[in-house]
Amino acid sequence: MSKERFALVIIDISHERLDRPFEYRVPESLLDAVSEGAEVRIPFGKGNKERRGYVVGLKDEPSFDRDKIKDILGIVESSVGIESRMLRLAVWMKKRYGGTLVGAMRTVLPVKDKVKAKVYRCISRKVSIEQLNEEAGRLNPVRFSARIRLLKAVSEVEEMPLEFATDKLNVSKAVIATAVKQGLISLREDTEYRNPVAEKNTRYDRRAELNDEQQAAVDAILKEAEAERKPVLIEGITGSGKTEVYIEAIAKTVESGKQAIVLIPEIALTFQTLMRFYARFKDRVSVLHSKLSEGEKYDQFVRAEKGELDVIIGPRSALFIPFNKLGMVVIDEEHESSYKSQNMPKYHAREVAEELCRMSGAQLVLGSATPSMEASYNAECGQYLKLKLNKRYGEARLPKVTIADMREELKAGNKSFFSRVLAEKITERLVKGEQIMLFINRRGRAGFVSCRSCGHVIKCPHCDVSLSEHTGGRLLCHYCGYAAVMPKNCPECSSKYIAGFRAGTEKIEEEIAKAYPSARVIRMDGDTTKQKDAHEKILQTFAAGDADIMVGTQMIVKGHDFPNVTLVGAIAADMSLNAADYHATERTFSLLAQAAGRAGRGDRPGEVVIQTYKPEHYSIQAAAAQDYEYFYKMEKAFREMADYPPFTHMMALQYFSADQKAAFERAENAASAIKDKAGDTAEVMGPFQASIAKIRDIYRVVVYIRSRNEEALTQAKDIAEKLQDENRDSGKKEVTLQTDRDPVSTL
Ligand code: ADP
Ligand code: ZN
Ligand code: ZN
């Protein structure tokens, strides 16, 4: 006897209350056909009206009385379509990252509600210009003035939007309808897709002649796409032509009738990059970004579904564009933290792309000058195929990098923010009329505590991350909760220069104004870019040469080419090394390596000054030498020793509640349940108060789970979620849970 199967079915994917799917029995005849994501016909409600639904799960035991469960009627054969594939992806995401299925579905499926496609209507003449003028001449100019205005206007232009006639010419719709009836004009309706690229500069054609290294990379990608389809990782220094390689590989994919998705971190999506894609793919490529309206975004999904697009470019959400024949996914700047979603489900685009490619038989291509530890490690283990681009295209040379040891500066009596060497070079550039970028690396939000005399940073004895300063002189570890008192003197060298480091962009701007009163300074950071378009305006001002110095956070380092910038200064290069987060070193390295790649992209050679209290640290040394391999080797050894990813995996359970005690209690219960059931494969840490203990009166409590076994983390997550469900049912105080797999920032 074959065993029974039950299917979880969702009726209407745009409906709100569908977190709990309905259960149906899978009849024996359909056992082979019904799988997750399948579209099925089912009897629904009291009248057993036939409806369609999607299978979002299968199980052997029903949760209800067997007698009350109805049978699935049949399967909708044509449902191999894109919607069911996206649903399967949502199911996978829910399993891996937690949260509700509906939440995952909302992430994966486009918002269909409200936004209608805009209809474009235009008027054109149906008879000759002479006939129109003749007709206008016959009409009484007083009684028919509107009709005359219309006919004159139509005789002057080939085509006129309907709104122009009604709004600008003040011609009523009735008048237009009459003219149509008389056969003088015609009214054409078009569903006009809002194309987000205003300047459709697709006339010029551009095709790069690849150099040998680039061509070899393209060949290797295409070969892999025909074979095992392992993800390909391109490690290529800035300017080595990674984008040219993507474009060529995509062009071949498109030629074979398939489509491609290109992910680019929003901040790095420059006009030049876009135009390179447009020049090659014309109106078969489109873009998604956060500045598009919901309507414009939705239009791109419709165009994709209809087969009007071959290539889409966008941030991580572009992964969910409904391509029927997906052939390739490219993730540029693969190491960027913006590929991790900070909302539930907290998915990582790299992982989702891997799954999507597996499901659709597509090839994944990752690219970076400084690949993430995860990607490099996967390549080392043979799960990814690694390709290298070592040459900068053309004669572009790497800039000269100087490391300024700030401890020496203090010894020499220089207490300012600027080292002598940086100050000197700034003056030089100002005299020559060249531009300067100064950035302060402020990733570590909470102020770490360091000694300005010897560079010593106070760290947690248990976690090897820096402690951060809280009110009342308390120092806290955000990983394990370890607390200490702020010392009066440096524990290393006994100097009294120990304090929380608090320099910000504003402070730097002030100091620059003092030191170089004649220099024109422009600042770019979270504060100055709040307004829409502010970001572009600042960049334009700088590009136009209307400022000499741009001061900013790391956002100024990414993706912009200013040929007149010949000096880049990193003010507190090691600041981010001290963030209470195991990604800190990796971020510092990649940021500095990118900054070094910024200077001197024009014909003039560039220079970079890295100011640091830790000149000997491998992340600083490797960035200055643009030596990724050295960085990877050192960081890998550290991660392995400290039991951090990619050698282990982590799951953060983040509890939120207005009631601090309730949040701790729930977290405590989860922690002990996980210890009970998975304690031998997973290490449970916490619960702890989050580094920001309360936001808007909502308390935040965290539990960290760490394991070498990924399954153990999924299990831990399931235990915590089950506990949530049980407590929801019993109506206890509201404590919400968010699960974060391999978190990129600490809570
Ligand atoms: P990456 O993405 O690796 O930083 P890009 O693809 O942006 O590098 O290339 C850097 C610059 O060199 C770009 O201006 C690009 O147009 C140019 N370039 C790279 N390869 C070629 C090529 N084969 N032919 C013409 N120009 C190229
Ligand atoms: Zn000291
Ligand atoms: Zn600690």
Quick check: 671 pLDDT over 90?
yes
214/53: higher pLDDT: 214
Cα 719 to Cα 609, 674, 688, distances in angstroms? 50, 7, 19
Ligand 1, from 243, 274, 330, 557: best to mutate by most atoms within 8 Å of Cβ?
Answer: 243
Residue 148: pLDDT band by 50, 70, 90 thresholds? confident
Burial of 451 (0-12, 13-18, 19+ CB in 10 A): buried
CB distance 685 to 480 below 8 Å: yes
- How many angstroms is it from 713 CA to the middle of ligand 3? 21
Domains annotated for the chain, with CATH where assigned, are 6-107 (3.40.1440.60), 119-191 (no CATH), 212-389 (3.40.50.300), 400-444+504-639 (3.40.50.300), 649-741 (3.30.70.360)
CA atoms within 13 A on the CB side of 344: 15
- How many angstroms is it from 355 CA to the middle of ligand 3? 34
> What confidence score (pLDDT) does residue 251 get?
96
Ligand 1 atom nearest to CA at 210 = 23
Q: What is the mean pLDDT of residues 215-236?
A: 96
Bridge partners (DSSP) listed for residue 695: 698
Of 49, 42, 39, nearest in space to 23 by CA: 42
- How many angstroms is it from 460 CA to the middle of ligand 3? 5
- Name all residues whose Cβ lies below 6 A of ligand 1: 208-211, 214, 236, 238-244, 393
> What confidence score (pLDDT) does residue 412 get?
92
CB distance 520 to 544 below 8 Å: no
Report helix, strand or coil for 475: strand
Q: What is the mean pLDDT of residues 275-288?
A: 85
698/205: higher pLDDT: 698
Considering every ligand atom shown, identify the ligand nearest to the alpha carbon of residue 455 and give its number: 2
> What confidence score (pLDDT) does residue 580 get?
59
> What confidence score (pLDDT) does residue 478 get?
67
Cα 656 to Cα 292, 478, 695, 738, distances in angstroms? 32, 17, 10, 8
Report helix, strand or coil for 529: coil
268/304: higher pLDDT: 304
- How many angstroms is it from 499 CA to the middle of ligand 2? 10
CA–CA dist 130, 133 (Å, integer)? 5
Quick check: 403 pLDDT over 70?
yes
Ligand 1 atom nearest to CA at 332 = 2
Hey, how many other C-beta atoms are within 10 angstroms of the C-beta on 146?
16
Considering every ligand atom shown, identify the ligand nearest to the alpha carbon of residue 580 and give its number: 3
Ligand 1 atom nearest to CA at 243 = 6
Q: Note the pTM of the prediction, 2 decimals.
A: 0.75
For the chain, how far is it from start to end, CA to CA, in angstroms? Answer: 52
Of 524, 650, 638, 539, nearest in space to 588 by CA: 638
- For the chain, what percent of residues have pLDDT higher than 70? 86
Q: What is the mean pLDDT of residues 511-528?
A: 85
> What confidence score (pLDDT) does residue 199 get?
43
- For the chain, what percent of residues have pLDDT higher than 90? 37
- How many angstroms is it from 498 CA to the middle of ligand 2? 7
Ligand 1 atom nearest to CA at 394 = 12
- How many angstroms is it from 243 CA to the middle of ligand 1? 7
pLDDT digits (tens, 9 = 90+) for 568-606: 998 877 766 665 577 888 988 988 888 877 665 556 778
Considering every ligand atom shown, identify the ligand nearest to the alpha carbon of residue 332 and give its number: 1
Residue 502: pLDDT band by 50, 70, 90 thresholds? low
Question: How high does pLDDT run on average in the chain?
Answer: 84
> What confidence score (pLDDT) does residue 218 get?
97
Ligand 1 atom nearest to CA at 244 = 6
45/549: higher pLDDT: 549
- Greatest Cα-to-Cα distance within the chain, rounded to the nearest angstrom: 101
Quick check: 444 pLDDT over 70?
no
Handedness of CA 304, 308, 310, 312 (dihedral sign): negative
Considering every ligand atom shown, identify the ligand nearest to the alpha carbon of residue 498 and give its number: 2
Give the environment of ion ligand 2: residues with CB less than 5 A.
451, 453-454, 456, 490, 492-493, 495
Quick check: 443 pLDDT over 50?
no
List the single range of 435-439, 544-548, 596-600, 715-719 with lowest mean pLDDT: 596-600
CA atoms within 13 A on the CB side of 6: 17
Q: Which residues contact 651 (CB under 8 A, 6 or more apart)?
A: 704, 705, 706, 713, 716, 717, 739, 740, 741, 742
Structure tokens at 278: 């447009």
- How many angstroms is it from 467 CA to the middle of ligand 3? 8
pLDDT digits (tens, 9 = 90+) for 150-203: 888 888 777 777 877 887 777 888 889 999 998 999 887 765 555 555 444 444
Structure tokens at 442: 């402020």
